[in-house]
């Protein structure tokens, strides 16, 4: 299963269980469909889907979309390393860190702000992960204090806002995941108070709006995953109604739109979702026979992500919304008030 930090988790085999443990996946798969939790999940969002596919690529993952229509992500062809890309209305350019050599190496672009500054991560044959900022053809490496230095450990820069504030995650030598904020050269560690602080557990940040509101998620002590948005030091939990696991992917720059994926008990596949002002809607690419994994959205509510088919081929998509049905009423809030929290109204006090 993959979500905003998908490529990071795929590269970090030792801590892939941070998203959801292999044991938990096995337990989910063992539940017969007839015994699966029968709960109301959000209705499908109406709109159109269009593939985003790098020419001659066997895998394309669209990770972020700007209001200008610029899409960033990563791809891999039949041979060669995984590389980053930008897509401006069908015109592709490719991004490869200068240290990358060999098929086992990786570069992935995860986000671009409104000024065209790109962040992501790279890893060479050593397997250590490093975050990067890419601007005007120049890479600047980001390594969070406390990040491990062995294969399967390191730092990923996942989002950047207009002011240049960067958020992401880092993985310690004990396989614990922490979120971080990098602002004016200073790192701040971020941990959800409900997160498990043990191997294959922790907190990640994957979105930062222009007003500083952040998005992310955590794994609790029972290995269940939850999303959140964070503003002025206060965490607001986000759980899709009827879902066992919820993975928030990012927050838009100004509108406060959250996107991500969720998993129902007894099912391995992810369905996507959008969440805005307390309203959930499901995203499911009609070409997907496997998971649909939205990664991020712009302020025009265009969503990008990727899906899998029966051949396990990963293809990027762009969703353009139409008219959507009303939301399913919320059944749980991080505040314990019995209803889902409203998403942040960006730019308002």
By the 8 A CB rule, do 52 and 43 touch?
no
pLDDT of 78: 87
pLDDT of 179: 98
Q: Domains of the chain: which residue ranges?
A: 6-321
pLDDT of 102: 63
Q: Percentage of the chain with pLDDT > 90?
A: 71
Q: Is 310 left (phi over 0), alpha (psi -120 to 50) or beta?
A: alpha
Q: Which helix (H) or strand (E) holds 23?
A: helix 22-30
pLDDT of 201: 82
Instruction: Encode the chain (349 residues) as per-residue pLDDT tens digits.
Output: 343 545 334 333 333 333 323 222 222 223 233 233 335 689 999 999 999 999 999 999 999 999 999 999 999 998 889 999 999 999 999 999 988 766 668 999 999 999 999 999 999 888 999 999 999 999 999 999 999 999 999 999 999 999 999 999 999 999 999 999 999 999 999 999 999 988 768 999 999 999 999 999 999 999 999 999 999 999 999 999 999 999 999 999 999 999 999 999 888 899 999 999 999 999 999 999 999 999 999 999 999 999 998 888 999 999 999 864 444 443 233 332 223 233 333 322 2
Cα separation of 127 and 105, whole Å? 8
DSSP string covering 132-166:
EEEETTEEEEE--TT---STT-EEEEEEE-TT--E
pLDDT of 100: 73
Q: Is 89 left (phi over 0), alpha (psi -120 to 50) or beta?
A: left
pTM of the model: 0.84
By the 8 A CB rule, do 168 and 180 touch?
yes
pLDDT of 98: 85
Architecture of domain 6-321: 6 Propeller (2.120)
Residues whose CB is less than 8 angstroms from the CB of residue 222 and which lie 6 or more positions away in sequence, other chains included? none
pLDDT digits (tens, 9 = 90+) for 116-149: 999 999 998 889 999 999 999 999 999 999 999 9
pLDDT of 104: 67
Q: Which helix (H) or strand (E) holds 262?
A: strand 258-263
pLDDT of 344: 35
């Amino acid at each position: 299963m993959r979500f905003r930090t998908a490529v990071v988790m795929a590269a970090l085999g030792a801590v892939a269980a941070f998203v959801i443990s292999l044991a938990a996946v096995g337990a989910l798969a063992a539940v017969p469909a007839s015994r699966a939790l029968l709960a109301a999940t959000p209705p499908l969002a109406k709109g159109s889907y269009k593939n985003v596919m790098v020419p001659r690529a066997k895998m394309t993952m669209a990770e972020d979309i700007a209001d200008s229509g610029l899409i960033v992500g990563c791809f891999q062809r039949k041979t060669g390393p995984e590389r980053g890309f930008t897509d401006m209305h069908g015109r592709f350019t490719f991004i490869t860190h200068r240290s990358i050599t060999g098929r086992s190496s990786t570069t992935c672009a995860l986000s671009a702000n409104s000024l065209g500054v790109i962040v992501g991560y790279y890893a060479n044959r050593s397997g250590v992960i490093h975050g990067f900022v890419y601007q005007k053809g120049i890479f600047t490496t980001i390594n969070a204090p406390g990040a491990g230095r062995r294969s399967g450990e390191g730092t990923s820069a996942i989002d950047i806002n207009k002011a240049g504030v960067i958020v992401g995650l880092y993985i310690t030598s004990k396989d614990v995941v922490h979120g971080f904020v990098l602002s004016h050269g200073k790192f701040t560690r971020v941990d959800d108070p409900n997160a498990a602080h043990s191997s294959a557990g922790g907190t990640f940040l994957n979105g930062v709006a222009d007003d500083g509101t952040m998005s992310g998620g955590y794994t609790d002590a029972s290995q269940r995953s939850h999303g959140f948005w964070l503003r002025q030091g206060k965490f607001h939990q986000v759980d899709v109604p009827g879902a066992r696991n919820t993975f928030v992917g990012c927050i838009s720059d100004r509108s406060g739109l959250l996107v991500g994926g969720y998993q129902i008990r007894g099912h391995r596949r992810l369905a996507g979702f959008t969440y805005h002002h307390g309203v959930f809607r499901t995203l499911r690419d009609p070409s997907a026979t496997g998971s649909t994994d939205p990664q991020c959205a712009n302020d025009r509510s265009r969503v990008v992500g990727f899906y899998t088919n029966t051949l396990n081929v990963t293809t990027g998509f762009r969703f353009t919304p139409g008219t959507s049905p009303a939301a399913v009423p919320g059944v749980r809030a991080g505040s314990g008030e019995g209803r889902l929290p409203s998403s942040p109204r960006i730019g308002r006090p």
